[in-house]
């Protein structure tokens, strides 16, 4: 980690174009509702990621692949400044050692807003240490310690102490019905957490908005109905490159119609396109 990593800027003229696809600046209070409207049970959800022209996130599983240009990278950090939390799966945490903070420059005298990292790790297989980038940033006051969502009731004590010592915590969420509950430190199996339960747990922590960045398994699982109905906004950076076959691809499973023929599972609506450097950013909402 480079402690002197430069601050990024994102022009207001670009930021205003994203506004229709972002959570409200004033989040809903968790202490009550106005006008008798029920309080939301989940945060505002933005699905956002960078992809190649062949819908790949990375050259291969576990291979860190840079796709975004400087302008769209700054946009990503602007999005982080506008969300209470940022979510990745354990595969991304293991492969990339991400910082998950916000490097957007702030006005003089105004502290930076950092999103709370949320790592989905059903089996507690993220073997983080004190040298993990996200924990270094938290100790330095340049980010927040992560909340780790897991199906393990009793995480390893050394991980628990390390996480809580930086201001993070483990959040227990029961595994999907029918799936075995993993034992502490169990790195095998395919235990799945239900998105509705994960998002409800995030909301109970007082986090009113969350941007979900990856990786491939996390994104594809969220794009499967009915979980796709939980997405409020989609913001995708498209880089002018092909990564080729064998990469980590965003491609949710097709659906089958009444005649047994495959159909497209999802479509976006209210779509807008925004050139940023050599990249193009597409914004939209899931067609209900």
Q: Which domain holds residue 270?
A: 41-286
Residues 230 and 223: beta-carbon distance below 8 Å: no
Out of 17-31, 35-49, 232-246, which region has the weakest mean confidence (pLDDT)?
A: 17-31
- HEC assignment per residue over 91-105: HHHHHHCCCCCCCEC
Here the tokens at position 236 are: 């995708």
Kindly state whether residue 215 falls inside one of the protein's structural domains. Answer: yes
Percent of the chain with pLDDT over 70: 89
Instruction: Give how many domains the chain has, as a whole number.
Output: 1
Give the integer Cα–Cα distance in Å for 6 and 71: 14
Q: Is the pLDDT of residue 164 over 70?
A: yes
Kindly state whether residue 110 falls inside one of the protein's structural domains. Answer: yes
What CATH number did the domain enclosing 112 receive? 3.40.430.10
Instruction: Give pTM, 2 decimals.
Output: 0.90
* Mean pLDDT, residues 206-222: 96
Out of 34-43, 53-62, 108-117, which region has the weakest mean confidence (pLDDT)?
A: 34-43
Residues 278 and 66: beta-carbon distance below 8 Å: no
Place of tokens 């390390």: 162
Largest interatomic CA distance in the chain? 63
> pLDDT band at 3, cuts 50/70/90?
very low
Judging by DSSP bridges, how do beta strands 233-238 and 279-286 pair with one another? antiparallel
Kindly state whether residue 126 falls inside one of the protein's structural domains. Answer: yes
Which stretch of DSSP H or E encloses residue 72? helix 70-81
Kindly state whether residue 83 falls inside one of the protein's structural domains. Answer: yes
Kindly state whether residue 257 falls inside one of the protein's structural domains. Answer: yes
Kindly state whether residue 11 falls inside one of the protein's structural domains. Answer: no
- Name, in order, each residue with C-beta under 8 angstroms of 252's C-beta and a sequence gap of 6 or more: 220, 223, 224, 228, 265, 266
Q: Is the pLDDT of residue 81 over 50?
A: yes
Q: Is the pLDDT of residue 87 over 60?
A: yes
Residues 134 and 126: beta-carbon distance below 8 Å: no
Kindly state whether residue 243 falls inside one of the protein's structural domains. Answer: yes
Sheet holding 44-51, edge to edge: 169-172, 147-150, 116-120, 85-89, 209-214, 44-51, 233-238, 279-286, 268-276
Here the tokens at position 238 are: 């498209």
Kindly state whether residue 3 falls inside one of the protein's structural domains. Answer: no
Nearest to 193 by CA among 217, 175, 167: 175
Q: Is the pLDDT of residue 187 over 50?
A: no
Q: Give 102-144 pLDDT, tens digit per residue.
A: 999 887 767 789 999 999 999 999 999 999 999 999 999 999 9
């Amino acid at each position: 980690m480079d402690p002197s990593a430069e601050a990024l800027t994102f022009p207001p003229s670009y930021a205003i174009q994203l506004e229709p696809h972002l959570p409200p600046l004033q989040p809903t209070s968790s202490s009550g509702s106005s006008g008798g409207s029920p309080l939301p049970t989940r945060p505002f959800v933005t699905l956002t990621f960078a992809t190649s022209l062949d819908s790949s996130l990375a050259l291969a599983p576990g291979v860190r692949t840079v796709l975004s240009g400087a302008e769209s990278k700054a946009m990503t950090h602007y999005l982080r400044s506008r969300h209470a939390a940022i979510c990745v799966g354990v595969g991304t945490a293991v492969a990339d050692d991400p910082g998950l903070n916000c490097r957007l420059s702030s006005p003089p005298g105004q502290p930076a807003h950092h999103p709370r990292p949320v790592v989905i790790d059903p089996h507690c297989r993220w073997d983080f240490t004190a040298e993990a980038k996200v924990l270094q940033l938290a100790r330095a006051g340049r980010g927040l310690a992560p909340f780790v969502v897991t199906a393990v009731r009793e995480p390893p004590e050394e991980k628990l102490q390390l996480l809580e010592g930086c201001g993070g915590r483990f959040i227990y969420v029961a595994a999907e019905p029918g799936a075995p509950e993993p034992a502490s430190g169990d790195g095998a199996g395919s235990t799945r957490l239900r998105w509705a339960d994960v998002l409800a747990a995030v909301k109970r922590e007082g986090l009113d908005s969350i941007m979900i960045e990856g990786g491939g398994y996390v994104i594809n699982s969220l794009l499967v109905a009915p979980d796709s109905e939980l997405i409020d906004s989609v913001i995708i950076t498209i880089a002018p490159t092909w990564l080729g076959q064998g990469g980590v691809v965003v491609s949710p499973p097709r659906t089958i119609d009444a005649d047994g023929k495959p159909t497209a599972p999802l479509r976006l609506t209210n779509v807008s396109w925004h050139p940023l450097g050599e990249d193009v950013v597409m914004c939209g909402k899931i067609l209900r």
